[in-house]
Amino acid sequence: MFQHKSSKLLRSIRFKVTALMLSAMIAVLTIFYMGIQLRIGGRTGLIEMLLTGVLAVCIVMIIVLLYVLVKKVIIPIGDLSKAMEKMAEGDIGYQFNVDAESEIGQMQKNFNVLSRKLLSTYNLIEKINRGQSFDDTFEYVFKSFKEFIPYNRIGMALIDEKGEEIRAEIARSDSSNIRLSNGYAIPVKQTSLMSVLETGQPRIINDLKAYLKQYPHSESTKLIVEEGVRSNLTLPLKVNDKCIGIIFFSSHRKNSYNHSHVNFLSRLADHLAVSFEKSILVEDLVLAAITGFANLAESRDNDTGKHIERMRDYSVVIARHLSLNPKYADIVTREYIRKIYNFSPLHDIGKVGIRDDILLKPGKLLPEEFEIMKEHTLIGAKTLKKAEKTLKNKSRSLFKTGIEIALYHHEKYNGTGYPSGLAGDDIPLSARIVSVADVFDALTSKRPYKEPFLLEQSFKVIADERNKSFDPDVVDAFLQGKDEIMEIYESLSGQRGRAVGS
């Protein structure tokens, strides 16, 4: 398309220059001929008048053509070249006022598109370098490159450690009806993605409906076709040359993709992979280490070791139900839930600093012993702050949520908790969520100092503490998720020890 337009432009300029040169030649010949005629002193009259006429026409043509060339071609090309200079100096994103009548209007338009594309790419890289969260980066990509590339949906799926299962990680679409998203997992073998994974080569399917007829078993294809997707371009997602997943650019129209899209989309995929690595893989690695440590700490006063898993699952159920409440929809995002998932297990990490004779005391703590016990919140926050510092990643607070949770999970909604006596919304939401999950699990579990409560009794304690110990909205979300809470309780009941009376 670009080539076609520019050759039209070239033809038009060539035509004008040729016309200009022809007029000039005729004018020179005319003058020359008139000169000879005058020198010979021959005939005058009609022929001379005719020649003068031709000369005048030629001169007028030369002036007009010169004017057109300067105004429509030479000046705009000069402007374009100045704009390119500006761009080279770093003013990317510079935009022309496109002169539709100018010969090079199309060139100016192309320049503007190129310039916006460059600016979007530049901003993307900057955001990634600043350590913007992966979800925000993904959102930015989805919004910013539509103008340049046809897509209505971008989806990303990750391969598990063993390379056996592929799991949809995140998807963003123009249509609100996302059928294939977060958590959908299938064995790689049951997909046709093996070739993309093995060869690392992009794959284009320009008619997914036809493809589905050919491979009716492909459940993932079925789901995206139901979403309205008609063609897609699939690329491997690589971190340090290792394929960690797949990225799908999908369009609601058939035949949207060809190989001219591959280069740019591969680059976008690489940027997304970097962002993913920076913000999720690193965090996961560090967290795995710290969570191992927290598990160890937990195992001292809690021999089942399942407390951490249940806590995490209860917290996530509460967060999911909160996210359905319009009041929290903007706060409790997917990213927020991921933070809750990652950091809720670390709430009691500070118990590593509590002496055995207090932590493991079989009976009730003395007031001064409880004062020491309370310090586990401060110790936990300090430990996580130290871990964050050693990561030397000053640009962002990797453990912010973790620190909040460790520090404030014993605050109470009415302000009677510790360590700071915060009340209401002054307590970070993450801590308000984890607090309910923590107490519910403490109630239903055996501790060195107590026997487990019955399930219904434990639910009742939580409900009774609504507006006292706990945020009413969080308690409501917890009770809305009662069925899921009970399922987690059952499935992770492990060696909890039998509830009193059951």
Binding site for ligand SIN (CB under 6 A): 155, 157, 166, 168, 171, 180, 191-193, 218, 220-221, 224, 232, 234, 248
Q: How far is the CB of 269 from ligand SIN (least distance, A)?
A: 13
Is residue 375 within 8 A of residue 348, CB to CB? The reply is no
Q: How far is the CB of 373 from Fe ion (least distance, A)?
A: 9
Query: Phi and psi at residue 169, in whole multiples of 5°?
Result: -105, -45
- Residue 403, binding choice from ligand SIN, Fe ion, ligand C2E, none, Cβ under 5 to 8 Å by partner class: none
- Residue 477, binding choice from ligand C2E, Fe ion, ligand SIN, none, Cβ under 5 to 8 Å by partner class: none
CA distance 364 to 358: 10
Is residue 382 within 8 A of residue 353, CB to CB? The reply is no
| 137: three-class secondary structure by DSSP | helix
| CA dihedral for 131, 175, 237, 268, sign (positive or negative) | negative
| Site residue total, ligand C2E (CB under 6 A) | 15
- Identify which of residues 425 and 451 has a Cβ nearer to ligand C2E in the complex: 451
The distance in angstroms from the start CA to the end CA of the chain is 76
CA distance 335 to 333: 5
Residues 458-487 that bind ligand C2E (CB under 6 A): 461
Residues 135-164 that bind Fe ion (CB under 5 A): none
- Residue 365, binding choice from ligand C2E, Fe ion, ligand SIN, none, Cβ under 5 to 8 Å by partner class: ligand C2E
Q: Kindly state whether residue 433 participates in binding ligand C2E, applying the rule CB under 6 A.
A: no
- Which region, judged by CB under 6 A, interacts with ligand C2E, from 66-74, 76-84, 359-367, 388-396? 359-367
- Identify which of residues 169 and 301 has a Cβ nearer to Fe ion in the complex: 301
Strand partners for 186: 166
Q: Which residues of 307-335 are buried (b: 16+ CB within 10 A; e: fewer)?
A: bbbbbbbbbbbbbbbbbeeeebeeebbee
- Residue 301, binding choice from ligand SIN, ligand C2E, Fe ion, none, Cβ under 5 to 8 Å by partner class: ligand C2E
| 234: three-class secondary structure by DSSP | strand
Q: How far is the CB of 228 from ligand C2E (least distance, A)?
A: 49
Q: How far is the CB of 348 from Fe ion (least distance, A)?
A: 4
Report the interhelical angle of 2-40 vs 105-129 (nearest 10°): 140
- Residue 450, binding choice from ligand SIN, Fe ion, ligand C2E, none, Cβ under 5 to 8 Å by partner class: ligand C2E
Cβ-proximal residues to 372 (8 Å cutoff; 6+ apart), any chain: 354, 355, 358
- Which region, judged by CB under 6 A, interacts with ligand C2E, from 221-229, 239-247, 317-325, 438-446? 438-446
DSSP state of 69: I
**CB atoms closer than 10 angstroms to residue 396:** 15
Q: Kindly state whether residue 348 participates in binding Fe ion, applying the rule CB under 5 A.
A: yes
Any idea which residue has 């038009």 for tokens? 12
- Identify which of residues 232 and 401 has a Cβ nearer to ligand SIN in the complex: 232
DSSP secondary structure, 316-352, as one string:
HHHHHHHHTSTTTTTTS-HHHHHHHHHHGGGTTGGGG
Is residue 410 within 8 A of residue 435, CB to CB? The reply is yes
Q: What mask, x for binding ligand C2E by CB under 6 A, covers residues 443 to 462?
A: x---xxxx----------x-
Q: How far is the CB of 459 from ligand C2E (least distance, A)?
A: 13
Q: How far is the CB of 415 from ligand C2E (least distance, A)?
A: 15
Q: What mask, x for binding ligand C2E by CB under 6 A, covers residues 374 to 413?
A: ------------------------------------x---
Q: Kindly state whether residue 373 participates in binding ligand C2E, applying the rule CB under 6 A.
A: yes
CA distance 489 to 307: 10
Q: Kindly state whether residue 244 participates in binding ligand C2E, applying the rule CB under 6 A.
A: no
Q: Kindly state whether residue 301 participates in binding ligand C2E, applying the rule CB under 6 A.
A: yes
Q: Which residues in this chain contact Fe ion in the complex, by CB under 5 A? A: 348
Q: Which residues in this chain contact ligand C2E in the complex, by CB under 6 A? A: 301, 361, 364-365, 373, 410, 438-439, 442-443, 447-450, 461
